[in-house]
Structure 1
Amino acid sequence: MAQKAAKQQATRNSAILKRTHLTSLAINLLFAILRFLVFRASCTRSTYLLYFFLSSPAFAIEFWLEKIGRPTTTPNGEVKRSGEDLEAKGLTEYLWDVLYWSWGCIAVASLVGDRAWWLWGVIPLYSVWLAYTTFGGMRQTMAGMAGQDGAAADGGGTSNRQKKLEKRGGQRMQYR
């Protein structure tokens, strides 16, 4: 049972990467079949340029996830390196969000047409919102570390227990 966690991580990463590649293949084949064969009359050169330009982040992210997440094994089947956790929080989670949204835009654009590429503009807006909320959380954390949290805000350092008791009408503290 040596390296049980590494083996589990390697198995999980291999399954995730396989599913990712198959999904990407299916979505891009859907676009190719529908745009090249079915809706050929409505396709222009800009359709193909938009497709290559706006799907390139999905390809780059997929390549990056493959590079960091693919486990390597020795010839006898031992796990040499299990790869990074592809279900990790933070940047990896954000990369998955961008990948899923890009796939959705490709799928909608293959069915609806070129106007669906405007959906791709949500990704930069999401990035700005994520940066703002991350900065806001960091700012609150820094204020708490400096001693500027709840104790100074309520003006007296009353504990939560004391506040609840006073709210219920229980033991009221008399200050002299």
Structure 2
Amino acid sequence: MAQKAQKTQASRNSATLNRTHLISLGVYLFFLLVRSVLFRRRLLPFILLTLPALAIEFWFERTGRPVFAEGTNGKELKRAGEDLEAKGLTEWMWDLVYWTWACTALAALAGDWAWWLYSAVPLYSGYLAFTTFYGMRQGLGGLSAGAGGEGSSSDGAGQSKRQAKIEKRGGQRVQYR
């Protein structure tokens, strides 16, 4: 049972990548089939707006596909690949792939106006960037207290809530020098 966690991740990554490629192939062939047989849809938005999802799939293939090497006992796992279920940027990239599939299927069925739904991607990315920056700015705001900021006064204004409660009850007094 050596490297059980890596073997599990390798099999999970392989299954996820194979399923992703098959769904992509199905969605894109569906669009092209509907475009060529039933309706006339523009091809330029399809090409431009599916390129990011295809690039992400290529990236997932490069980083997530397990690598096997010939060993003494047959094929041995050399590298399990990156975790494709990781939080953060990987999760956001999966959301982009799913949204591309949805927009492609909707554009095939409803018309070229559905490509405008793809504008939600930069809007959502901007929202995430703003909230991340704002949250980080709020979290780092207290670091300036030691440099003459709001927490460095010696008149008791910079005391903690616990110290204020103790002083309010008349308990242990904190003397500032």
How much does 1:144 deviate?
Answer: 4.2
TM-score scaled to structure 1, two decimals? 0.81
State the match for 2:38 in structure 1: 38
Counterpart of 2:81 in 1: which secondary structure? coil
1:98: how far off? 0.9
Residue of 60, 67, 75 corresponding to 2:62: 67
Q: Structure 2 vs 1, CA of residues 130 and 116 (structure 1 numbering), >3 Å: closer, same or farther? A: same
The count of aligned residue pairs is 159
Tell me the secondary structure at the aligned position of residue 140 of structure 2: helix
1:84 aligned to which of 82, 85, 94: 82
Deviations 1:30-83 (A, max 9, x none): 1111111121xxx25xx1111111111111111111111000112322110000
**Whose radius of gyration is greater, 1 or 2?**
2
| 2:44 corresponds to which of 21, 44, 49 | 49
Correspondence 1:173 to 2:176: no
In the alignment, what sits opposite 2:120?
Answer: 122
Does 1 or 2 have the higher relative contact order (CA < 8 Å, sep 6+)?
Answer: 1
Whole-Å separation in 1 of the counterparts to 2:140 and 2:161:
22
Q: What displacement does 1:139 show?
A: 1.4
In percent, how many aligned pairs have the same letter?
52
Partner of 2:25: 25
TM-score by length of 2: 0.80
The within-5 A match list for 1:136-151 is: 136-146=134-144
Q: Output the amino acid matched with 2:77.
A: V
